[in-house]
Structure 1
Amino acid sequence: MSATDPADPDQLALVAAPGRRRFRTREPEPVAESLPIARVLVDVGLPHLDRPFDYLVPASMSDDAVAGARVSVRFAGTDHDGFIVARAHESDHQGRLARLRRVVSPEPVLAPEIAQLARSVADRYAGTVADVLRLAVPPRHATAEKAAPTDASDTSPPRPEPGGWAAHQDGVALLDALAAGSAPRAVWNPGPVADWPDLIARLVAATLSGGRGALVVVPDGRDLARVSSALEAVLGEGRHVALEADAGPSVRYKRWLAVRRGAVRAVVGTRSAAFAPVHDLGLVCLWDDGDDLHAEPRAPYPHAREVLLLRAHQAGAAAVVGGFARTAEAELLLSTGWARPVTPDRGSVRSTSPRVRSSGDDHEQARDEAARSARLPSLAWRTARTGLRTGPVLVQVPRSGYLPGVACARCRTAARCAACSGPLVVGQPGQPPRCGWCATAYPSWRCPECGHGYLRATSVGVGRTAEELGRAFPGVPVLMSRGDTVRDTVGAEPALVVATPGAEPVADDGYTAALLLDGTGLLNRPSLRAAEEALRRWLGAAALVRSGPDGGEIVVVADTSAPAVQALVRWDPAGFAARELAERGALRLPPAARVAELTGAPADVDDLLTLTDLPTDAEVIGPAPLDDDKSRAMVRAPRSAGTALAAALRAAAGVRSARRSGGPVRIRVDPVDFG
């Protein structure tokens, strides 16, 4: 357009009117010259968005935006946290890419192998990577992150002496393989009175001596403290870290960072430690895999055993699954040839195991006609009296509280809450019954069926048991150890130690005797794992008792013919597990089959099942109504179709998530228990 040409009205419109404020458009910051694309796992947790998304890396963030770093990004109109999993030259996305909002920290907290593990765990449990990473990577603690990194030890500890492993068949060979850097796989069941924390510490020491890292996962803080103490005794100070929630967020994050930075190569912790980023992982060890504390209660509900087995496969590491009892899952590892058994020889077991008797055998019932129904039969009373002459006696009670179950004294109708239908309990002597769910008290309770106003106990807890024993053995100290007040140890002096399973203190010189009460109730629970869990609890208590030659005795109040009782008498967890696995295989129950549990509103469960392209051999059981306006369906498939089952459920959940229709459905693959 020349100067004499008439003015273009469109051009004139671009000229600012006098007095009108001008706004200057901000030029976007240039992107990084090298690897300008960041692939980010965004913390959204929606199944249909369970993949990395590409973002542009501003030049000013390029040095800090490393793989594994925490970042903040814009996603669907809001800010979200995420992790960079990779940097790339270009993106496959055809549209416009958003930029990273900021780098929260340049610390590469997400190791590549943990990102890969998170994907495997999510696939295994029909979940999302975002949910797994919430379990795997602890929340950031800036002060701990800015602290100077701990120097890594440049020497490996010497190869340990075999110690108690010499009494195990193939025990020394297991240590030799670990020290050589190999990857053996074992199911380990130590004998009675074995110092299992010391044995684990020697496994770790052998692994470190071979130049690789080790990871040990235990059920709870008490076990963690024992293993940590053993590791310090065998390895020396500063060669391992204990990852425990009780340490506080700052201390725990500092320890976790020491592992991530490679300063420490030996870790012991509870279930979340299964994701600890140990450098050059050479051993994963799980103690007491039958303990339900190993099952994560948060989505996608993984079990520490399965996480560790995935890690062992992924890292080419050794795997040891140990415990006094053997689960059907551990037996499956042996039956498929994936692992080998490591156990003491039978002669060692016989010489170290306590004498075990059942109150339900024919001889005792002929001698004491009330033995079948008595809670503390004469055999148990005599055994306790004899044991108290030389030391403490352990009394294991399955139920906590005082009276955890009550019923009408006249018509035997179970006492329930009028508000929520929860069971009524009596928490302390002299207190009125209250609801175990909503805590509503009933000082003037009346039976809704017959109008009677008195209650009788249907189950007795640790509190009432301690009270009864105090009256039966006057002058003898009665100590309690339970969920809210757990004792770690007791002395060698005579005392009655009443404890719930898992809360049994360790006696300085071992218990002289143990009474395992209410065994029939344990075995008769409506649960897939009732017998397995009963034997696990009994063996755990029996391992604290002196050997038979040293006078140790155990009385189990249960029917002698029960397979779990027979396994306890013979100290034969292997035989029991083999029988249990065979029975479950015949019935197509886990672990012989893969099972998914779907829980939600009836319409939502039906919708998910309709959308799921199930494997050919899969079978749907239900849906069945639950007590809280929800329903539950079980989907069962052969083990060979387990991966396909999880993938199908995950895909269907993704469709429902993308549609944003209906309510949530909880998907649990291979739940620990159902019944």
Structure 2
Amino acid sequence: MVPEALEADAVPGTRVKVRFAGQLVNGWLLERVSESSHPRLAYLEKVVSPEPALAPEIARLARAVADRYAGSLADVLRLAVPPRHARVEKEPQPSPAPDPASPEVGGDPGDPVGWSGYPAGPALLRALADGRAPRAVWSALPGEEWPTRYAEAVAATVAGGRSAVVVVADARDLDRLDSALTTVLGPGRHVQLTSALGPARRYRAFLAARRGRVPVVIGTRAAMFAPVPRIGLVAIWDDGDDLHAEPRAPYPHAREVLLTRAQLAGGAALIGGFARTAEAQLLVETGWAREVTAGRAAVRARMPAIAPTGDDPQLARDPGAATARLPSLAWTVARDALSVDAPVLVQVPRRGYLPAVACATCRTPARCPHCAGPLALPSARGAPVCRWCARVAAAYACPECRGRRLRASVTGARRTAEELGRAFPGVPVRTSGREEVLATVPGGAGLVIATPGAEPVADGGYGAVLLLDSWALLTRADLRAGEEALRRWLAAAALGRPGPAGGRVVVVADGALAPVQALLRWDAGWFAARELAERRELGFPPAVRMASVTGPPAAVAELLAESRLPAEAELLGPVPADGDRERMLVRVPRARAAALAAALHSAAGVRTARKAADPLRLQVDPLTLF
């Protein structure tokens, strides 16, 4: 019941307080109705703020996301709406909010010239400008200025009188997209929405979108619920990046949230990247989306010359290439690029100096004597340190042979920089990784050692790109190991110069491997189709829907026993998780995904009502299965 004193402020979308079980709790007012079938109603206690922060479209989306991921609506709303900042709400509004369909909000359509390298590109922009809802999976050309292409797609959407939301993985990509949108749309036409902004700035940007003052919101995964009016386009760049997966319950993925939003609102969807995930390939094969790719002639003209070091001709010339960390081909390519005053990018999968060491005598991996964690060397003269408990093992002795000398098992980025600095004296060496991520580097001769995802953009492109330690990516015990390796390689190789301009890429791997073949041909679509076919055959996502239940064995067994799982459900496991916990997997056909989520959510609710002591982690479509 709404008291008369709160009649004006109690509108749908406002934050309220209600008395529940004798306590005042926070809630959302979703809808006002004239009558109720419930015999007794309590009175609404308080309207926290008259600001309708929760848009009806976002409320529907949050309900759909909660149902899809077997979560609660409250958990999704905590992700969708940032905490209230009262001072920001009271700030004066500069001018009345314009209508989303007015000419003031509209603009010039995106320039189709940049998309002309893709046969379906100009048609995509025309459809966006006409107010239609195209759905596209875009494979970007090597060296593509993808922020500008996204800005052009957003401009076409805004010209059609609609709004757009674009999600990227990290702050570096966001800065590039911000610059491109400012150039194409002009200043003041978009806002950034990320969790790193701080409470006041984030809520101010959120309110600018909610009040319709800007037609475009960009950001990291925090922007996937941005409440823009008349949503016309949702877009995501590099959907395979694990940063798009929300680490808080119910663990939604930004790609799936945006696709659900496009489906509910009848808007357009754009999934872009140099690589392609199996999930994006499934959209293409089912007809939900259309692929936007360039012709082979355009790909060959733009891609650098790529060579592996493990194929037969290379091994005939250099027998040591199969075991060498920096084979002669890679060294020669780097030397040639530096000789013409071009920068060289070296991608190393591991950060640090020597992140894993072993006994130099018997090759036994060095483990911490206190917690059995792996030992690492932080520098050339440092003592070994445990990567788990951070204790220093200065007096380490091998438990097998009592030897005290250590050798490298895995070489990190800083050790690689040290080695290459000695190999090419006088050449400046820069590192880009967790401690310091570089956005750009100058175009002159220099070595850039970077971990995957931290590769800076070089002025004019890199003359050479070396992809080292490929085994560290390809041999991971993960369903997505090959897909992730190709994604990281393509992202680094795309920063190189075209082959006709002297750009070269060397991947230290066997050329017969499928990910390496996809890199050599620059054919992410072929590899994604191959991956999807294999997962269909083996019964793995995205060909099926899968959920994981992680926790103490007794609690996992109890929840699954109480769940009314669909008849088609298969139980896989248990497999060991961290500590004394275990993980069970539940697999169902995609057609039974909703039934699986509902059954698990209901069983989890029963455990919560009973106040079960043992916590469980319930996750639908987890990125990591084992």
The TM-score, its normalising length taken from structure 2, stands at 0.97
**1:127 Cα deviation (Å)?**
0.5
1:332 aligns to what? 282
Query: What's the counterpart of residue 224 of structure 1?
Result: 174
Deviation at 1:573, TM superposition (A): 0.4
**3-state DSSP of counterpart to 1:86:** coil
| SS in structure 2 at match of 1:407 | strand
- CA shift for structure 1 position 636: 1.0
1:36 is matched with: none
The residue aligned with 1:620 is 571
5+ long unaligned stretches in structure 2: 99-103
Q: Residue 140 of structure 1 aligns with which residue?
A: 84
State the distance in 2 between where 1:673 and 1:112 align: 33
Matched, 1:177 2:127: yes
Structure 2 Cα separation of the partners of residues 285 and 378 of structure 1: 42
Tell me if the contact between 1:66 and 1:87 (Cα under 8 Å) persists in the aligned partners: yes
What is the rounded CA distance, in whole Å, between the counterparts of 1:567 and 1:348 in structure 2? 16
Alignment of 1:657 with 2:608, yes or no, is yes
**Aligned counterparts of 2:94 and 2:143: Cα–Cα separation in 1:** 38
Write the distance in 2 (CA, Å) between the matches of 1:647 and 1:236: 46
Instruction: Verify: 1:554 aligned to 2:498, yes or no.
Output: no
Q: Distance in 2 between matches of 1:83 and 1:257?
A: 17
- In structure 2, what is the Cα distance between the partners aligned to 1:164 and 1:362? 40
What is the one-letter code of the residue matched to 1:229? S
Q: Check the 8 A contact 1:187/1:341 in 2, yes or no.
A: yes
Deviations 1:192-231 (A, max 9, x none): 1111100000000000001111110000010011011100
Instruction: Give distance in 1, aligned partners of 2:415 and 2:334.
Output: 18
Q: Does 1:647 align with 2:592?
A: no
Distance 1:81 1:455 in 2: 58
Aligned equivalents of 2:32, 2:378: Cα separation in 1: 59
Q: Describe the superposition over 1:472-505 as per-residue Cα deviations: whole angstroms up to 9, x where unpaired.
A: 1111100011012011101111000000111111
Partner residue in 1 for 2:347: 396
Residues 128, 300 of structure 1: 8 Å contact kept: yes
Determine the structure 2 residue equivalent to 1:39.
none
SS of the counterpart of 2:29? strand
Provide Cα deviations, 1:322-367, integer angstroms capped at 9, x if missing partner: 1000000000001101111101111111101000000111111111
CA distance, structure 2, for counterparts of residue 423 and residue 77 of structure 1:
52
Map 1:91-170 → 2, pairs under 5 A: 91-95=36-40, 97-151=41-95, 152=97, 154-170=104-120
Q: Give 1:504's aligned residue.
A: 455
| Structure-2 separation of matches of 1:469 and 1:79 | 63
Cα contact 1:409–1:455 (8 A) shared by 2: yes
Structure 1 residue 61: Cα displacement:
1.9
Aligned AA (2:357): V
> Is the aligned partner of 1:72 residue 2:22?
no
In the TM superposition, what are the counterparts of 1:83-482 in structure 2 within 5 Å? 83-95=28-40, 97-151=41-95, 152=97, 154-389=104-339, 390-482=341-433
Name structure 1 gaps, 5 residues minimum: 1-55
Q: Distance in 1 between matches of 2:136 and 2:497?
A: 27
Alignment-mate amino acid for residue 80 of structure 1: V
Percent identity, aligned pairs only, is: 59
- Matches of 1:457 and 1:144, distance apart in 2: 54
Specify the alignment match of 2:101 in structure 1. Answer: none
2: CA distance, partners of 1:452 / 1:72:
67
After superposition, the C-alpha distances for 1:612-647 in whole angstroms (9 at most, x for unaligned) are 111111110122333401111111111111111111
Relative to structure 1, the CA distance from residue 98 to residue 418 in structure 2 (aligned partners, 3 Å threshold; closer, same or farther) is farther
Per the normalisation by structure 1, the TM-score is 0.90
Highest Rg: 1 or 2? 1
Counterparts of 1:496-645 in structure 2 under 5 Å? 496-645=447-596
Alpha-carbon shift at residue 150 of structure 1 (Å): 4.6
Cα distance in structure 2, aligned partners of 1:415 and 1:267: 49
- Deviation string 1:15-39 (CA, Å, 9 cap, x unpaired) is xxxxxxxxxxxxxxxxxxxxxxxxx
Per the TM alignment, residue 88 of structure 1 is displaced from its structure 2 partner at its CA by: 2.1
SS of aligned partner of 2:306: strand
The alignment partner of 2:200 has SS state of helix
Contact 1:150–1:263 at 8 Å: present in 2 too? no
- Aligned-residue offset at 1:99: 2.7
Q: Which amino acid is the alignment partner of residue 14 of structure 2?
A: A
Distance in 2 between residues matched to 1:418 and 1:142, nearest whole Å? 53
